[in-house]
Structure 1
Amino acid sequence: MLKLGLTGSIGMGKSTVAKMFADEGVPVFDADAEVHKLQGPAGRVVAAIEARFPGTTNENGVDRATLGQAVLGDDAAMKALEAIVHPAVGEERAKFLAQHAAAPLVVFDIPLLYETGGQRAVDMVAVVSAAPEIQRARTLQRPGMSDAKFDAILARQVPDADKRARADFVIPTDVPLDETRAHVRRVIACLKAGEGR
């Protein structure tokens, strides 16, 4: 089994690309979706998050906006949150691998792949990328997003140019969707043929 790490900074179109891999029949582990489940109603990490960050949860699980305010820009708080969430995500990842043990290729959709050292757990990395002005415009369309919040998130992420330089594949999303899909299909073909870069 080949493990492909799929990453990209905020607003780069990574979710769209992950869906394209899934549409091609490749099992995709979506780290963000797992975090949402773990932090949702009756999620496994809700009690631990409430204990560490009082007032950040309710009957619907973690209030992401409140928790975001509690940790954004505070490295110690962010590390404490990651210490709660990352091990639980790791357990879900192990279950995913067991479920898809016969698959020749799986994709791990991990937004903070380089930031967390996750690239060491995959065989190759594909970075989803777009021009900075497109990234900013897409991100600012999100509910509750502001220039200041976007800049704070970017400051915590490895710069796009660095990600592209370290990647085995770069998948552009500032092109027509069909072109992005063609890139995805080429990546799958290369991996199945045992090629990289």
Structure 2
Amino acid sequence: MSRPFILGLTGSIGMGKSTVAKMFDRQGVPVFDADAEVRRLQGPDGALLPAIEAAFPGTTSSQGVDRAKLGASVFADPAALARLEAIVHPAVRAARDRFLAEHADAALVVFDIPLLFEKGGADEVDAVAVVSAPAEVQSARVLARPGMTARRLAEIRRLQLPDAEKRVRADCLIDTGTSLAETEAAVAELAARLATQRR
């Protein structure tokens, strides 16, 4: 039985991955947004709230997870982060499997997964597209975000695979250091090419 070609979409913070995901969506390609699914699972009435509260008391409320409190609990503690991931990752995987079943007739689907290489998900897709831009462009984009500091950016970069290594491991590279029109044209070309490779 055939299935869609699965493209894993990833990229470091500030590289423009979310913008590129929207471009695939405009091309009619179904996109599974792993971050959005996590926000839903951890939001008001989210399915994961009881398990997260049990593991990290005081980090949830009727409004969902308090991201600042939860982040403070796990950011510098690898064991705590592993406990959180053991709660979150199976639920996201189940949602992704449902998404794939819902779009079984599509020629191409995109799994938008920020830490695709870091968490070992690259083996579960047919190809990986890395979204990348020059380091100075990345820094300018991220430091323009509310509350972001150079120190915080350095900490995030430390947790992510270096962009240069992602570029080497990529099957496809999407450059967002160019104009939006050029990036959109590259996405359209890639979507059209991969849609012919349904498995």
Task: Please classify the TM superposition score into its range, dividing by the shorter chain length.
Answer: over 0.9
How much does 1:193 deviate? Answer: 3.9
8 Å CA contact retained: 1:73, 1:152 = no
How much does 1:99 deviate? Answer: 0.6
Aligned to 1:3: 6
Aligned to 2:90: 87
Aligned to 1:23: 26
**2-structure distance, mates of 1:81, 1:137:** 31
How much does 1:77 deviate? Answer: 1.1
Describe the SS at the equivalent of 1:25. Answer: coil
**1-structure distance, mates of 2:63, 2:171:** 39
Q: Which runs of 5+ in 1 are unaligned?
A: none
Describe the SS at the equivalent of 2:173. Answer: strand
- Sequence identity, in percent? 61
Q: How many residues align?
A: 195
Describe the SS at the equivalent of 1:6. Answer: strand
How much does 1:190 deviate? Answer: 2.2
- The reply on whether 1:101 has 2:104 as its aligned counterpart is yes
**1-structure distance, mates of 2:132, 2:25:** 19
Deviations 1:32-59 (A, max 9, x none): 0000000000101111111111111122
Q: Which runs of 5+ in 2 are unaligned?
A: none
TM-score of the aligned structures, taking structure 1 as reference length: 0.96
- The reply on whether 1:33 has 2:36 as its aligned counterpart is yes
One-letter amino acid of the counterpart of residue 170, structure 1:
L
Describe the SS at the equivalent of 1:142. Answer: coil
Q: 1:134 aligns with which of 137, 152, 173?
A: 137
8 Å CA contact retained: 1:28, 1:109 = yes
8 Å CA contact retained: 2:107, 2:196 = no
One-letter amino acid of the counterpart of residue 45, structure 2:
A
Report 1:57-76 matches (<5 A).
57-76=60-79
Deviating 4+ runs (over 2 angstroms):
none
Aligned to 2:17: 14
Describe the SS at the equivalent of 1:5. Answer: strand
